[in-house]
Structure 1
Amino acid sequence: ATEPQRAIVGDFVPDEVLVTVDGDAATVQQIAASFGLEVRSERQSRLLGTTLARFGIPDGRPVGVVLAQLAADGRTRRREPNHVYSLQQAAGIVNYAFDRIALDAKAASGENVRVAVIDTGIDDTNPALSGVIADQFDAMPNVPIEKRDHGTSIDGLIAGVGALKGMAPGAKIYHARAFEGGKSTMDVILSALDWAAEQDVRIINMSFVGPKNDLLGIACRNARSLGIVLVAAAGNNGPKAPYGYPAAFDGVIAVTATDAKDGLMPQANRGAYVFISAPGVEMVAPSGAGSDVVTGTSFAAAIVSGAIANLIHVAPDRSADEIEKALADTARDLGPKGRDNDFGYGLLDTKAAEAVKKE
């Protein structure tokens, strides 16, 4: 008889599982011993509200088989693959985004609004990031930082200063490095999210996409219940791609990318989860020590995070729910009438959203 096996969707680390455990380090060791696994890491997760263990499978058993075996053990609460996530980048001028999203470039400010970004490492010598980074955390300290462009561009689009001004100059960026070579894994991202939640941030920008994972869903739900606005890239995997996560979780603002003429980026993901559109095609952004032209829903997400920082700067007591509603109610409709799978509610209109009076 073949062993029962759980079906798994998406890319994942082939010899690891993530398990939330009722108990402490000793319990984690006992579970490892019971199932012939090795403990690769264990920690208390603030957003999961429990112990998160990462077990290695030393004997080549498929992940699906091990997940099915662990399901029978009452000490384990949730059992998930260690899914792999990817950054969403498709390959001294005022960014055209200001005009498209009705944000006055001269008046734009996110003064002292705390924004967390989970991304690659950054080039903090780039002049656009001068004084912008309030704190940094490395969620994968054992992996040397080689690629810094994506994170540098995201931080710059949100809060850059000088010639490459971002949407919300004055915002304080709390930067968690969780990607190398364009990839990360669930355990690393969860560690970055936990750190972000502890920095008292108002917004978390997640410019990456991967499969649905319950642990990520719980972390997002609990971050949202702390009042944090969650912004994520809808994905660049094309019109027929499956839903991209974390963007497709409830309470996460899924952002698709449009160009200077409000046309949809052709390689954008589509679906009922798409919430709003923002510029993300051929924008100039800080990169390395200088700048580059960037395209992708990653960058559109950063534009939305910056716009939301402006809304919070103007009205600090605005809640995550109120912000989400204001964006939906004021977006400039694109495509079919009303909310649609291509553009969501339509193009972000910062000026109109700022004008919405609190209920």
Structure 2
Amino acid sequence: MHRIILIPALLAVLAAPLAAQVALPGVSVPRVGEVLEPVTDTLDRTLAETQRLADRLARDRLRDIERLVRRNRDIIERDARGEAARRGELLVMDAAAGDLAKASGLGFVALGSESIDGLGLSVTRLKTPDDLTLAQAEELLATLLPGAVVSADNLHFQSGNAAGVVLPLASAGPANGTSVPVGMIDGAPGPSVPVAAMRGFAKGAPTPSHHGSAIASLLASAGVGPVRVADVYGTDKAGGNALAIARGLGWLVAEGSRVVTISLVGPENPVLAHAIAAAQRKGVIVVAAVGNDGPAAPPAYPASYANVVAVTAVDGKRRALIEAGRALHLDYAAPGADITGRNAKGKRIRLRGTSFATPLVAARVAQAMGAGRTWRTTLDGEAVDLGKKGADPVYGRGLVCGTCTGR
């Protein structure tokens, strides 16, 4: 962020007219080297500070996962990659009946099989043997069933802070009538942010949350609708898991959502990858946040899945958020700080995070589709090029919804 500010200043010195660098009578003009030296020293210090912050964010992420697992050992466990997942359960897809019988012979217990409405997928839940950790059971089952999809039920986390300072209320903009239906996968919004439909996919869901309320209020401020919400958290300590997101996505697709916004991040998960690919085959555009774990964190999912619209965030001065994470690709930036939304109690609050940039981009996609336009061409035409010329890993294809401030 600071590097982007300093480099133009440095170039300005180098590109200054010759007359400005020639000594005039009675005026002492520093040599180019004397000007550049403190600038480059400052740049080096800034880059070092940025790297330290990135490393700290990555450490914070690991510490937060460790704390979550430690405090909820009865329901959360680490998978074979060390990622947080629902304890003692594995998900299996594309397994033959005989394969599941083999698993049963080794102590795996079938908890049920289900078809995910709207996506044409079938998932079987297996309880792991009592004498194996989740990681051990996952590795054993993957070896036993080489032709099947075997996965832990990984947890995904909201990627923004929606517990900010309460501000005076502002009115919401009216729906513009040109939007296709929009789906939202998150926590549930409070009653002050009305939506067309809501359904729970976790214990205690739907339960109003600050984060879900903020996302829904940003969609409302953009004037899109109808908006349907899949609450994948509720009161479940292991909420936001891959199966809940897949179920929620299936419901939204079955209900007619053409664009789905997901401001959650987690590790790569085969079941969720299959679910998103199935939704995309039906023409649904999935828009997802890159997260706030910093650039040193692993790539965020679902933003990193193929053809998902990956979104990062900028502040009110159009500077990339220093905490913005990364994905395997980046499509657009949108305001994710110096904007406001509603919390679960209906209070207007300040927001910060890539979570809140994501529904703004999703709204633009939905509006373009509703107007019968090609959404990619429309957003590319609106996007303001920031950073390096053309698409880049900091701002993607440019800033969308640059004047949006929320509600």
Q: TM-score range by the shorter chain?
A: 0.7 to 0.9
Aligned residue in 1 for 2:128: 57
**Contact preservation (8 Å) 2:300, 2:326:** no
Q: Distance in 2 between matches of 1:343 and 1:54?
A: 39
Q: Distance in 2 between matches of 1:285 and 1:248?
A: 26
1:15 aligns with 2:88: yes
User: The residue matched to 2:391 in structure 1 has which SS?
Assistant: coil
**Structure having the higher Rg:** 2
**Contact preservation (8 Å) 1:118, 1:192:** yes
Q: Distance in 2 between matches of 1:187 and 1:272?
A: 22
**Contact preservation (8 Å) 1:332, 1:349:** no
**Contact preservation (8 Å) 1:15, 1:60:** no
Structure 1 residue 63: Cα displacement:
2.7
Give me the TM-score of the superposition, normalised by structure 2. Answer: 0.70
**Contact preservation (8 Å) 1:21, 1:53:** no
Q: Distance in 2 between matches of 1:298 and 1:39?
A: 36
Structure 1 residue 274: Cα displacement:
1.7
What is the alpha-carbon root mean square deviation over aligned residues? 2.8
Q: Distance in 2 between matches of 1:151 and 1:271?
A: 22
Post-superposition Cα deviations, 1:24-83, rounded to whole Å, max 9, x if no partner, equal 7xx797455223123334211246634201212241413333233323455962001111
Q: Distance in 1 between matches of 2:366 and 2:219?
A: 8
Post-superposition Cα deviations, 1:76-132, rounded to whole Å, max 9, x if no partner, equal 62001111100011353479xxxxxxxxx68x72556211101112212x1xx24xx
**Contact preservation (8 Å) 1:23, 1:75:** no
Structure in which a larger fraction of residues adopt helix? 2
Q: Distance in 2 between matches of 1:146 and 1:50?
A: 27
Q: Distance in 1 between matches of 2:233 and 2:369?
A: 28
Overall identity of the aligned pairs, in %: 26
Is there any run of 5+ residues in structure 1 with no aligned partner, and where?
A: 1-5, 96-104, 160-165, 352-359
- Map 1:203-214; keep pairs closer than 5 Å: 203-214=259-270
Letter in 2 for 1:11: A
Letter in 2 for 1:148: S
Aligned residue in 1 for 2:223: 168
**Contact preservation (8 Å) 1:268, 1:297:** yes
Distance 1:23 1:291, change over 3 A: farther
Distance 1:271 1:29, change over 3 A: closer
Give me the TM-score of the superposition, normalised by structure 1. Answer: 0.79
Distance 1:48 1:38, change over 3 A: farther
Aligned residue in 2 for 1:326: 378
Structure 1 residue 145: Cα displacement:
5.5
**Contact preservation (8 Å) 1:115, 1:203:** yes
Structure 1 residue 292: Cα displacement:
1.3
Q: Distance in 1 between matches of 2:140 and 2:185?
A: 33
Aligned residue in 1 for 2:12: none
Aligned residue in 2 for 1:102: none
Aligned residue in 1 for 2:388: 336
Equivalenced residue count is: 316
**Contact preservation (8 Å) 1:116, 1:204:** yes
User: The residue matched to 1:326 in structure 2 has which SS?
Assistant: helix
Is there any run of 5+ residues in structure 2 with no aligned partner, and where?
A: 1-78, 163-168
- Which of the residues 151, 157, 177 maps onto 2:231? 177
Structure 1 residue 349: Cα displacement:
5.5
- Which of the residues 217, 226, 234 maps onto 1:156? 217
**Contact preservation (8 Å) 1:21, 1:50:** no
Q: Distance in 1 between matches of 2:204 and 2:273?
A: 26
- Which of the residues 336, 346, 352 maps onto 2:398? 346
Structure 1 residue 299: Cα displacement:
0.7
User: The residue matched to 1:121 in structure 2 has which SS?
Assistant: coil
User: The residue matched to 2:364 in structure 1 has which SS?
Assistant: helix
Letter in 1 for 2:197: D
User: The residue matched to 2:155 in structure 1 has which SS?
Assistant: strand
Structure 1 residue 243: Cα displacement:
0.7
Q: Distance in 2 between matches of 1:309 and 1:154?
A: 15
**Contact preservation (8 Å) 1:257, 1:279:** yes
